[in-house]
Amino acid sequence: MSFFNLFKKKKSKDVAKDRLMMMLAYERANTKLENLEEMKKELIAVVKKYVNIKDIAIKTNSNQNIETLEVEIILDK
């Protein structure tokens, strides 16, 4: 399943909303990315700069050598 189809499946259930999702995934093989947390914060700040936020949900996940960040934003009109 592609990311595009995954997002389509997660479409707004009831009323269609203006929605933005940003996801970051880091697969570590050899080197640890020192400033990953800082980069995550800066990416979220960029998104906040461009959109009016009605609701925001931030989810992080890490397992063995994979770390993910999921940011789901419901946009305000």
Contact footprint for a copy of itself (CB under 8 A): 1, 3-4, 6-8, 11-12, 15-31, 33, 35-36, 38-39, 42-43, 46-47, 49-51, 61, 63, 65-66, 68, 70, 75, 77
Residues in Cβ contact with 65 at an 8 Å cutoff, skipping those fewer than 6 apart: 27, 28, 29
CB of 47 to a copy of itself, least distance (A): 7
CB of 55 to a copy of itself, least distance (A): 14
Cα separation, 52 vs 50, in Å, equals: 7
CB of 56 to a copy of itself, least distance (A): 15
Quote the tokens at residue 55: 């609701």
Specify the residue, 51 or 56, whose C-beta has the smaller distance to a copy of itself.
Answer: 51
